[in-house]
Amino acid sequence: MKSIKVTNTGGPEVLKLEEITLDKPEADEVQIEHVSIGLNYIDTYHRSGLYPLQLPTGIGLEAAGIIKEIGSNVSNFSVGDKVAYAAAPLGSYSTHRNYPSKNIVKVPDNIDLEIISSAMTKGMTTFYLLHKTYVPKEGETVLFHAAAGGVGQFFCQWAKSLGLNIIGTVGSQEKIEIAKKYGCDHVINYSKEDFAKKVMELTDGKGVSVVYDGVGKSTYDKSIECLKLRGTMVSFGNASGALDPIIVSKSLQPKGIYFVRPAMNQYFTNSDEIHEAASMLFKKISSGNVKIEIYKKYKLEDAVQAHKDLEGRKITGPAVIIP
């Protein structure tokens, strides 16, 4: 049994692979042998210290595997069940772990564990963005930044299945076709165009109802420009760095903008909420509304390189770690 541990925050080199020994699971836990581990940008926030954690810590929020042992109070899962999760406590970068049964879901037989391990965090993020944080109506126009990225590919397909008109932004010409492939109606290369100006052109000067922004610092000001009167700014990530302090009178007050900073732990506080999101995700995958192509697979011992690639923008689709 092995696990990646973080004893000091910093660059990818702080990820250390260690031999571990697990005790029997606690009464409300199950022991999972991981088949595949999801790789997500939020993992870099935990590793770097942007999202502070008590050290030492494991890392990783998402994985899929097989239950090998169950705790004495666990009645809704059995040894041999295919399961997946995307929630704290951290520690999915491991071959095996003991994990709270309240946070796991059974995976349908028709869904591959490698596929779902890459989909839980991105899919459940998409679920809360579209069905909880701001719920757009059919035909509404939305703006999504980094549309060719991991979450973007999920979001755009899911949004298209809801009948939305999607404007996506990307950072390079080669990503334009990727974003279109996954459902964007219009794609803007923000490294070459003023995306706020282009959005206003595409919306006949009205602006969009909502901006979903996982990029952060570099896109915030222009995103506010894209919003219509009483529009909603959904800031859910910091890929370009944390936001500067918001001056309410400058950015929010002029158009009565609603600003929200959502995170998964706010929406998935109990097993009912987790199962609602997972059930919808499984339906989207099974129906073909959301198609997933694994872009790259890493070995557990190559986690450092995986993080270098992630931060270097070398991963243009869902990626997994195989223990």
List, in order, residues 6 or more apart from 272 with CB less than 8 Å away: none
pLDDT of 131 reads: 98
| pLDDT greater than 90 at residue 26 | yes
Same domain for 249 and 191? yes
Integer Rg of the chain from CA: 20
Please write the tens of the pLDDT for every residue from 248-277.
999 999 999 999 999 988 999 999 999 999
Same domain for 152 and 230? yes
Tell whether 282 is covered by a domain.
no
Same domain for 127 and 115? no
Same domain for 241 and 134? yes
Same domain for 95 and 209? no
Same domain for 153 and 255? yes
Please write the tens of the pLDDT for every residue from 90-132.
999 999 999 999 999 999 999 999 999 999 999 999 999 999 9
How far apart CA 144 and CA 211 sit, in angstroms, is: 6
pLDDT of 120 reads: 94
Domain interval for residue 162: 122-264
Measured CA distances, 122 to 130, 257, 283 (Å): 12, 26, 15
Same domain for 259 and 169? yes
Same domain for 101 and 179? no
Same domain for 137 and 256? yes
The H-or-E segment that residue 213 falls in is strand 208-213
pTM to 2 decimals?
Answer: 0.89
Same domain for 162 and 251? yes
The H-or-E segment that residue 128 falls in is helix 120-128
Tally of domains in the chain: 2
Residue 38: CATH number of its domain: 3.90.180.10
Measured CA distances, 42 to 47, 172, 239, 273, 307 (Å): 9, 22, 9, 21, 11
Same domain for 72 and 141? no
pLDDT-based confidence at residue 241 (cuts at 50, 70, 90): confident
How far apart CA 11 and CA 47 sit, in angstroms, is: 7
Same domain for 200 and 306? no
Tell whether 9 is covered by a domain.
yes
Residue 212: CATH number of its domain: 3.40.50.720
